[in-house]
Structure 1
Amino acid sequence: MSAFVIETLIKILVLVLVFSFLGAFATYLERKVLAFFQRRLGPVYVGPWGLLQVIADGIKLFSKEDVLPQNANKIIFTFAPIIAMMSAFISMAPIPFFGDFTLFGHTIKPIISDINVGLLFFLAVGSVGIYAPLLAGLASGSKYSLIGAARAAIQLLSFEVVSTITILAPLMLVGSLSLVAINDYQAGGVTHWLVFKQPLAFVLFLIASYAELNRTPFDLLEHEAEIVAGYATEYSGLKWGMFFLAEYAHLFAFCFVIALIFLGGYNPLWFIPGGIAIILKVCFFVFLAMWARATFAHVRPDQLMQMCWKIMMPLALLNVAITGVIILL
């Protein structure tokens, strides 16, 4: 029992450290990708190819003055970025990042907890993250932050409904909410990937995921052209950094889940080992998110809600109905 507890604690520590680093490095990577699309250089001065820019940004965030607005609710204002971080990292508990491997004669499962409702846990804990921008906006004492909080409640709740309904169709085929079981269902090769059996669910879930992550063109929570920085307007220093570190950590988590559900997860891909295969899939989805940010313009709130409720929701329900009929036949 003690060995299990120690192993679990080590896994949690590794997960937090790795994804904290990846979240920080993703800021550099995104700036480079956006610079490539916009024909400019991006970070180049700090270190070779600007790689040390991440360290420079980290030093700035840690040393910058932590400003607390006069009219803010100080307790809730401080607690909001913590909720964002907790939601992002706790939601990773049921995600199998790789297949089992042996180290010094001991079999290691690269998953914190393989529960039989892993996907439901991921969606549920991830949805708790809505309280971060909501409470931040309400507690800041700023009209711009309040607008961002209102948009958070509308946008995130709407797309959580769509993503949950969309994922029902693949689950009807698999018959399990465990992400390990979903991965194993696709073990027969590329032709067994759920993306070919559920292409509509894949597209809808991908769009809904990017919307839940507050990624451009869906970043209405912090639309800098309209509301300065939305819910994060009054934040500075480390608290501000925690919001965006959580956003990138959640991006990696969603990319792992999408790869596990639709693209065969960590099953071997031809001659490519499973561990490398899932990393390549996740890198593709992260790049796709950055590509979308560089390509598409912002959408208006009414356009976003129209797309959600009048297009994506009917398509998701139709896909579930068709899948049910096919299974019965």
Structure 2
Amino acid sequence: MAEFWSGTLWPLIIIIAQIVAIVLPLLLAVAYLTYAERKVIGAIQLRKGPNVVGPFGLLQPIADGAKLFLKETVIPTGADRAVFVLAPMLTFILALIGWAVIPFDDGWVLSDINVGVLYLLAISGLGVYGIIMAGWASNSRYALLGGLRSAAQMVSYEISMGLIIISVLLSAGSLNLSEIVHAQGEGMWYVIPHLPMFVIFVVSILAETNRAPFDLPEAEAELVSGYNVEYSAMTFALFFLGEYANMILMSAIAVVLFLGGWLPPVDAAPFTWIPGIIWFALKVCAVLFVFLWARATFPRYRYDQLMRLGWKVFLPLSLAWVVLTAGVMVTFDLMPA
């Protein structure tokens, strides 16, 4: 019995505890990201935002969650019931399992695999399936158009994102996310030498997560609500949670690749006592603010403008940057050991 506990059950309990320690704060962060978004947009538009439920409106996300949980789930008569229900579950699950390889601090990572970047690219590529399934299973023209738009949009911007990541990998010499962060501690954060790619990466993750001004798959003006038009109650809530969890995940990837992960700024000597996970969280919040700021500031792109930006601007620039980065590293013998 002792061998069973020490050899099989105890490691399993530790892994489950680690997963819970990641998922619960993430769900709380998703809930209060919706609150922060409404407050930020309210401030930009000279409004108050949520201020009724609880002190300063802090209980508004709880009220919204309770409302969605208690509503009736309506499934359209002509929908494929199994796929209709599975689609939001897939979107939400993929938004969670990507966190398995994200390092929060030195050694604070659930699975420190050597192909962490490839794992994240695979998870990101699978995310489009949940939206396509929702658009097809709903048996609605609006939902189908939203799903098709999302598929084209996400595939288009994943290519430029992949090329941008290759530039970072050339600089770090590793596919391990923890080693990429350590490589930035030896010199400078990659946002400095790769600043144009950081800007393109941030714009690309806006498109990848279907956020304004690239929210064409769920454009209210022409598609009512896009791929989730037929969803209600908890099935809609899962799409909602998956979208915001994806925003946080993409922000964390940007922080790891370009902003030094958990490492403090070089000139932050008086603040070295602050734990690395706090630095990581602050940087993620800074990138998330760009999401909220963009939504309140920019009008929605037309679909042809969206595709032109991805294929005719971002793709050539990111490809040229890969060639430039490789050329500079070989010429000046900067290749990592």
Question: What TM-score, normalized by structure 1, do the two folds share?
Answer: 0.94
2:226 aligned with 1:230, yes or no? yes
Superposed counterparts of 1:14-163, under 5 Å:
14-100=21-107, 110-163=108-161
Partner of 1:320: 322
How much does 1:157 deviate? Answer: 0.7
Partner of 2:248: 252
What do you get for the CA RMSD once the two structures are aligned? 1.1
Could you report, residue by residue, the CA deviation over 1:211-267 in whole angstroms, capped at 9, with x for unpaired residues?
Answer: 101110011110011101000000000110110101111111111111111111111
Structure 1 segments unaligned to the other structure (5+ residues):
101-109
How much does 1:45 deviate? Answer: 0.9
Partner of 2:16: 9
Alignment partner of 2:47: what SS? coil
How much does 1:50 deviate? Answer: 0.7
Alignment partner of 2:101: what SS? coil
Query: Do the aligned residues in 2 keep the contact of 1:170 with 1:201 (CA within 8 Å)?
Result: no
Q: Distance in 2 between matches of 1:275 and 1:125?
A: 24
Partner of 1:105: none
How much does 1:6 deviate? Answer: 2.1
Q: Distance in 2 between matches of 1:277 and 1:283?
A: 10
Alignment partner of 1:91: what SS? helix
2:299 aligned with 1:303, yes or no? no
Q: Distance in 2 between matches of 1:305 and 1:174?
A: 31
How much does 1:281 deviate? Answer: 0.7
Query: Do the aligned residues in 2 keep the contact of 1:91 with 1:123 (CA within 8 Å)?
Result: no
Could you report, residue by residue, the CA deviation over 1:274-304 in whole angstroms, capped at 9, with x for unpaired residues?
Answer: 2222111111011111001100000011000
Partner of 2:239: 243
Query: Do the aligned residues in 1 keep the contact of 2:106 with 2:178 (CA within 8 Å)?
Result: no
Structure 2 segments unaligned to the other structure (5+ residues):
1-6, 332-337
Q: Distance in 2 between matches of 1:177 and 1:201?
A: 18
Superposed counterparts of 1:139-288, under 5 Å:
139-188=137-186, 192-269=188-265, 270=268, 271-272=271-272, 273=274, 274-288=276-290
Q: Which moved more, 1:302-311 or 1:256-265?
A: 256-265
How much does 1:4 deviate? Answer: 3.2
Q: Distance in 2 between matches of 1:185 and 1:173?
A: 8
How much does 1:268 deviate? Answer: 2.8
Alignment partner of 1:200: what SS? helix
How many correspondences in the alignment?
Answer: 318
How much does 1:153 deviate? Answer: 1.1
Q: Distance in 2 between matches of 1:251 and 1:97?
A: 16
